Structure 1
Amino acid sequence: MTAFSRVFSATLLIGSCNLFGAGLSLPAALEILENNNLEIKTAALDLQSAQRDTSIAKGYNFGSLDLTQNFVRSNDAGNVFGFKLSSREANFGDFSADEFMANFMAGSPDYTTPPKRLNYPGYQNYYQSKLTYMLPIFTGGKLSAYGDIAEKMEQIKKLDSDHMKTEKRYELRKSYYDMALLQHSIDQMNTIHKNISTLERTTQMMLQEGYAKKVDLLEVEAKKANVERSLTEMEANKKLLYHYLSFLLNENVTEIELPASDYPASLISEEDVLSNNTDLKKAHEGLEIRDRMVDLAYAPFLPQIGAFAEASSADDTFLGNFNDHKAYTVGAKLSWNLFNGAVDKNALEKARIEKLKTTTEVELAKKGIALQYDKIRTEIDSLNSQVKSLEKELELSDTIYKNYEGRYHEHLASMSDVIIKQSQQIEKVLNLQMVKNQRNERIFALEKLSNGVK
């Protein structure tokens, strides 16, 4: 499937979801994310730029072919004579042979008087067409090292692009599960609100019959207002989540299909993390770059050899007598720096030291990632225990509230006691949501650490 087809199908999917009232599912959102997210697109463009850098670095191996076209007019003696030689049009007259022969025939040859025609020539036009091809034959490994380094940099950019996709997928999935948690809490708070409304009506009836006090009704109304305030905050958070989802997908999202569970399970092992972690992969690529930089630092100790070939034609008119005046030149050049004050030696030692340093940093990064894995796993286990405990506490709090509500109807408990128990119930709901959110965040952080492996 082409990129256009994926975007088109994703757009149709959003349209159909809005048309039939069905929410946007997480798998569909993930596909839209990969095609529409602006940060992912920017990372992809960075990768394309790095690919061009690789092509540039490798292109130097093929040398260069240059076309030079000269258009010159001069009366400089050296230029004029050189132009004529280059265009194969020089003759004895250019040496003022006629002056010499006239003196010679007159019996008075003159060897000291400067020849006027040679020293004071007239203006000469010069049109030269020249093709020059230069090829590096041996550069001490410089060109191959530059090409390898460019390839490694390209690979790092690819890892950055993959990491950006993982990061945005992490944010999208977390937003979906945050929405599921939030909706679950809203449902629970609506149930509590419904119970308070029932209690409010009951208290009003008991107040009319003289079995309750005005303060009892005020306490119920205050608690109802408190629950409504919490629901308003939750609905506002829900809108903010939709705004953030729209930003991630670069599309207007008004409704989503909630995950079946608000608890994303994860079976990621430490081996998965160490094998797939982006930072570790980049560190290994960086180590290979350092290795090639050692080769690059060694190149100045070796000779540099290049070859060139040149074909040209010249005339006093543009492209005149092109075939008759053509000329060829081929050659090679060797240069070898034998001494430069130990600069190359120290540069090589520095490159080797930097490689050792990078090797140590890679090992340190590996241990650091393993430490992060252990830390996140420990936090997940701790949060799982807290969730189980809070779920039990919430179940108990619900039971206690119902018990106190019944006792109030039987005049065995005050309205203040009922409100206190309901406040504890609400507190458990909010605490449970917070801890579940923290647990899910840690699970997604573990997935991000393994570059999206689940």
Structure 2
Amino acid sequence: MVRTLALLMIGLLPLSAGLKNLTMRDALGMLDKKNLEIRVSQYDEVMKKYDEIAVEGKNWGSASITIQALRSNDAGNVFGFKLQSREATFRDFGFRDFLGGISGLTGMVPYNQLGATLGNPAMQNRMLDVAPDDLNYPGARNHFLTKFHYEVPIYTGGKLSEYKKITQKLYEMSKLDTRKLRDEKIFQLKKAFYNITLVERYVTNLRKIRRNMLKLKKTILEMKKEGYTKKTDVLEIEARLAKVDSMLNQAKLNRTLAYQFLSFLLDTDVDSIRKVDLLIHAPKVTQADIERMNLDIQKAKMGLEVARHAIATEKANFLPMVGAFAEYGSADDHLWNDFAKKDFYTVGMQFKLNIFNGGSDKAKLEKARVRQMKVATQVELAKKGIALKVRKLETAIDSLEFDLRSEQKQLALAREIYRTYEAKYKEGLASITDVLIKQSAELQVLLEYLQVANRHSEKVFELEKILDMGGRS
């Protein structure tokens, strides 16, 4: 039983293991397929495409079939049922009662006086006042009506074509939204790779420092045996080792969080990555490049086109609307009985022109024109605002690159000073406190260097995001 469970656990291990030695190129390739937010945005794209198709379908009109099953003893309904089924007879009009009156009158007056009697207004009114029982009190009747209806717009003043153009632009804008979201996720993914690489480098340096301190501790303990060091020297080095261990543990926790975030972005467990190059070069772009590449500017330009089409749709309210329809069907007291014999059709056209509606259409048109002016201004604002943001980022990147070169020199100097003081301590020319102070200075410079490198990479990745460079890869 134990062996079986062990084999089962071994079989499950590959299923739960995460990706190892993942490269950034592979991670970027996974992003489109695995990231859940991008997939949600892609679903929005598909829905916008169906909106476009739905508007296009309006040009082809609509067809429907209606089947009604009715039963009624209402006099008007029953008479209408029979008439629509082409089954109405003179009996249904009440002629039985009328003929009965004529027959009775014939038995009452001589034949040669019948004409004069029927011409008598009083007799006419009496006969016309008779309520026909067949017409007023018909028996209940079933009625099955099958009707095909088709209607199509012939002329809408261009409204449908403008709506189609608007939905096309909205679909294109939804694709830009997906690209912008993708750029954001690429930015986050690159930052995750870069942060993990920085943390790994930090951990490596901390471990190196820890190894040096352990060697120093060993030297201190050997010198203590010979009476060359004090007990406080041992306590100081142990306290400093505890501090380094704490920093090392915190760095490992940060690395774990970075891997968890990377796994979330890819919706896949990631155990390790291939470290990336920390030297990142920022792209150089012109104003024309910014306007061509930035998605916000492209979207604003599309919004301006939508505003123009919206004006055209409002103008259509001042033009006539022409449509046509056709209807074909059949009715009977049994479903589809003698369909062709009792069929009917109706065709027609409708012309509609709005003459007056209190000026509301005029107000809507003017509102659309003002909206276009607003969007045109927003396009110019986007161009200038994005350009300013790019220039600020470029300035910050240049400044951080200068700081990086300075921090690299400071780090090299701090390490050399530490090694010098470590050697002096072994020769008895410096105290352990001096050595640890220099070692703390090396750690501080290392942290500052990594922080500057982190800010530099973030600015470069942000610039790439603004220029949609991830979306063009």
User: So what's the TM-score if we normalise by structure 2?
Assistant: 0.88
Whether 1:238 aligns to 2:255 is yes
Note the 1:28-427 alignment, pairs <5 A.
28-104=26-102, 106=106, 107=114, 108-109=117-118, 110-259=127-276, 261-270=277-286, 271-427=288-444
Structure 1 residue 429, shift from structure 2 partner: 0.5
Query: Do the aligned residues in 2 keep the contact of 1:29 with 1:249 (CA within 8 Å)?
Result: yes
1:73 & 1:233 partners in 2: Cα distance? 82
Structure 1 residue 344, shift from structure 2 partner: 0.8
Secondary structure in 1 matching 2:388? helix
2:129 & 2:240 partners in 1: Cα distance? 124
Query: Do the aligned residues in 1 keep the contact of 2:282 with 2:397 (CA within 8 Å)?
Result: no
2:438 & 2:140 partners in 1: Cα distance? 111
Q: Could you tell me which amino acid in structure 2 is paired with residue 267 of structure 1?
A: P
Query: Do the aligned residues in 2 keep the contact of 1:268 with 1:446 (CA within 8 Å)?
Result: no
Q: Could you tell me which amino acid in structure 2 is paired with residue 126 of structure 1?
A: H
Secondary structure in 2 matching 1:355? helix
1:73 & 1:195 partners in 2: Cα distance? 100
Structure 1 residue 76, shift from structure 2 partner: 2.4
Q: Could you tell me which amino acid in structure 1 is paired with residue 379 of structure 2?
A: V
Structure 1 residue 390, shift from structure 2 partner: 0.5
Query: Do the aligned residues in 2 keep the contact of 1:274 with 1:450 (CA within 8 Å)?
Result: no
Whether 1:23 aligns to 2:21 is yes
Q: Could you tell me which amino acid in structure 1 is paired with residue 24 of structure 2?
A: L
Structure 1 residue 158, shift from structure 2 partner: 1.2
Which deviations, in whole Å up to 9, do the C-alpha atoms of 1:53-97 show, x marking residues without a partner? 222222222111111112222232322222222111122222223
1:25 & 1:142 partners in 2: Cα distance? 52
Note the 1:3-14 alignment, pairs <5 A.
none
2:185 & 2:254 partners in 1: Cα distance? 20
1:377 & 1:98 partners in 2: Cα distance? 101
Structure 1 residue 119, shift from structure 2 partner: 2.8
Of the structure 1 ranges 119-128 and 322-331, higher mean CA displacement relative to structure 2 is found in: 119-128
Structure 1 residue 420, shift from structure 2 partner: 1.3
Structure 1 residue 447, shift from structure 2 partner: 0.9
2:414 & 2:147 partners in 1: Cα distance? 94
Structure 1 runs not aligned, ≥5 long: 1-14
1:422 & 1:127 partners in 2: Cα distance? 98
Q: Judging changes above 3 Å, is the alpha-carbon distance between structure 1 residues 196 and 294 closer, same or farther for their aligned structure 2 residues? A: same
Q: Could you tell me which amino acid in structure 1 is paired with residue 250 of structure 2?
A: E
User: Which is higher, the Rg of structure 1 or of structure 2?
Assistant: 2
Which deviations, in whole Å up to 9, do the C-alpha atoms of 1:108-153 show, x marking residues without a partner? 5423433332333332322211101011112222222222222222
2:422 & 2:143 partners in 1: Cα distance? 111
Query: Do the aligned residues in 2 keep the contact of 1:268 with 1:447 (CA within 8 Å)?
Result: no
Structure 2 runs not aligned, ≥5 long: 1-13, 107-113, 119-126
Counterpart of 2:7 in structure 1 is none
Structure 1 residue 268, shift from structure 2 partner: 4.3
Q: Could you tell me which amino acid in structure 1 is paired with residue 285 of structure 2?
A: S
Query: Do the aligned residues in 2 keep the contact of 1:305 with 1:333 (CA within 8 Å)?
Result: yes
Of the structure 1 ranges 93-102 and 241-250, higher mean CA displacement relative to structure 2 is found in: 93-102
Query: Number of residues paired by the alignment?
Result: 438
Query: Do the aligned residues in 2 keep the contact of 1:69 with 1:130 (CA within 8 Å)?
Result: yes
1:439 & 1:335 partners in 2: Cα distance? 65
2:393 & 2:462 partners in 1: Cα distance? 8
